[in-house]
Each structure stands twice: as C-alpha cells, then as structure tokens.
Amino acid sequence: MQPFPFSLSHLWQRGCEFLGTSTSIMGGAMTWVSNRSLVSAISNAGGFGVLACGSMIPDLLAKEIQETKKLTSKPFGVNLITMHPDLESLIDVCGQYKVGHVVLGGGLPQAPSVQRLKQYNCKVIGFAPAVIIARKLIKTGVDALIIEGSEAGGHVGPVSTTVLAQEILPQIRDIPIFVAGGIGRGEAIVSYLQMGAAGCQLGTRFVCATESPAHPKFKKVFIRAQARDAVVSVQLDERFPVIPVRALANAATQRFMKIQAEVIQRYDAGEFDLKQAQLIIEHYWAGALRKAVIEGDVENGSLMAGQSIGLVTQEQTAQEIIQELILQAENFLSSLPNTQARTYKTPK
C-alpha cells in the first residue's frame, strides 16, 4: 500500500530510500561525541548515525567502524574531514569495511576524493553553503547534500538555516538535500520536508542521549543552557582570523578574548612576527573540545553547541528522542487544515 501523499512517511520517503532507514533523521557528526555507542543507538532507533572521524588515524577509524558494526546491523555513515592529511587512506578504510555513506566536511571536497569513494560504491554527501557550491558539488559527483545554517554548533558559516533553505531547496532538485542547523523539534523537520528537503540532520539534540559518551558535567551544562547561551566566537582583528565556532560561553571563551587582545598588543609592540602571533591564537583551543566532552572540564574546555540547545531539557535514549521527534511531526501534520493538505504538492 502506498503511503498517504501528505503523511510523514511520504514526505521523507526520498531521504529514507537514500539512507536505507525508516526515518530521514541524520545524526550530526560531532567530534568526541559521535562514537560507536551513540551512532549505533541512533541507527538502531531508525535514524542514520554518522561516526565523526575527526583527527583519527586510519587504524583508529577502522576499529571504530568494526565496533559500530558489532552494535548495529542498520546503515550508518562516516564523516571525513577533507583537510585530513591521511584522507586517501581513510577513504580506503571506509571502502575496505564497506561503509555505505561518507560525509565529506571541513572544506570543499575534491573530485578525486569523491570518485575514489564512488569506486568503493560509497554514497558521497557534501556540505553546500550556497547554490553555486551545490551545483559545483553535483558536477563533482556527490550523491546528496547537507545545507547547514549558522544556528548549528561547532564550525559555522554566516547564513541562517532558514535563508539557506529558501535559497537552495527550490533550485536544487537533482539529488537529495538534508537540512541542518537549529533543528530540535518534529515540526521544524516537517517544514523543511514540505519545502523539498529529503530529511534533516540533528546534532545538538543527541548530545545528551543516554548513549552519548559526553561527560555527565558536559550534559548537565547542556540541559541547563538556553539558545542565547550558544554564541559564535569573536574575532578582534582581521589580521588574526578566527574560525567562527558556535559554543556555550564559559571561562575559556572569556579568556580567549583576553588572549587575542594581549597577542595583538604584543604584535603591535614588535614582540612577535605575524605568523607567531597567528599561531598563538590558532592553537588556543587545541584539545579544548576533548577537555570538555570527555574530561568534564566545562569551564576551560570548548562547549560546542547549536542554538537548539534550549530544546534539550533532559537525558533521553536515542530511541526516545527519535520517537519524540516523530510524534511531534505527525501531530503537526494531523493539525493542518484539510484544504492545505489537498492543495499541497510534494516536490519531485
């Protein structure tokens, strides 16, 4: 039997078929958080978990993939950073262990990397912060796109999710597109599906999952935080670029401002050359994410979080989170006037 044309199953059918899942909810790949435990739990709950490779060496990634496969027989993906020095070897690991989907992040994927993955029968997903890049990635051979707005946690671009969705979804229909950034409820998922998205990616919503390896202190801070607490790092001087990162403000973010000011003052006084000064600023956050997520140092570590953090109010299993999102989405759809349902046409 075919699903009702305006049901949730119909709206995200394209995404489910692409991912091989029963829901089109992707788990955002979060370094130190998206490990075998959380990823397998998301996949077992009907979503699509994505391992965060981060700075892993090939042997570590191989072990993490193997351990994840012991915990789930469902599809899951791997996120690789395009700037990783061992990218080709990491791609080979994904191919060797028959990873079905690979998300290439942290920069514009190059055609050789995409083609190398496709030779292993991997479906390749890229990030598109603009229409022109989306079209370029399609020509490169990617199989799907993620458009992630500035409301997301971690490294972010300058444009909001709602604006990106309006710019890209009506123009790009060739391949599935997943929307990310600031999404924490089922109603928001429905709204993007109605605009033509194949599904959505959520990261912050899963940080406090029971299966997440995040330290109890880290989770406690997340549960207490509000949307306004997740702020983007500030750059004091254009000579010293700061990669925009959205995280919860804490003692470390305040100290980062002081470090920038001191380094700039000492550079202007001739104590450092430009490269030395830039390196001091760039290296400030080295190891800070692990310090917070794994060690629980929530004052001196980095508390990367999206603005949907205000919707994280308790620790729940991944199963409970996904079921809650589905219930919210279905309740929202059932509340729509019949005239709206009759006249709406799902984009192909």
* Domain annotation for the chain: domains and CATH numbers: 8-206+317-343 (3.20.20.70), 216-308 (no CATH)
Give the range among 60-64, 246-250, 339-343 with minimum mean pLDDT. Answer: 339-343
Q: Is 236 exposed, middle or buried (0-12, 13-18, 19+ CB in 10 A)?
A: middle
Who wins on pLDDT, 157 or 339?
157
The encoded tokens of residue 288 equal: 């800070």
pLDDT value of position 338:
62
Distances (CA, A) of 228 to 24, 27, 150, 252, 281: 28, 23, 13, 17, 25
Q: Is 235 exposed, middle or buried (0-12, 13-18, 19+ CB in 10 A)?
A: middle
pLDDT value of position 4:
52
pLDDT digits (tens, 9 = 90+) for 92-141: 999 999 999 999 999 899 999 999 999 999 999 999 999 999 999 999 99
Nearest residue to 191 (alpha-carbon basis) of 42, 312, 340: 340
- pTM value surpassing 0.75: yes
Q: Could you give the CA distance from residue 146 to residue 19 in angstroms, rounded to a whole number? A: 13
The 3-class SS string of 26-51 reads: EECCCCCCCCHHHHHHHHHCCCEEEE
- Secondary structure E strands in the chain: 25-27, 49-52, 76-81, 101-105, 123-127, 144-148, 154-155, 177-180, 199-202, 230-232, 245-248
Supply the DSSP symbol for 209: B
Question: Taking 50 as the threshold, does the pLDDT of residue 342 lie above it?
Answer: no
pLDDT digits (tens, 9 = 90+) for 139-170: 999 999 999 999 999 999 999 999 999 999 99
pLDDT digits (tens, 9 = 90+) for 57-92: 999 999 999 999 999 999 999 999 999 999 999 999
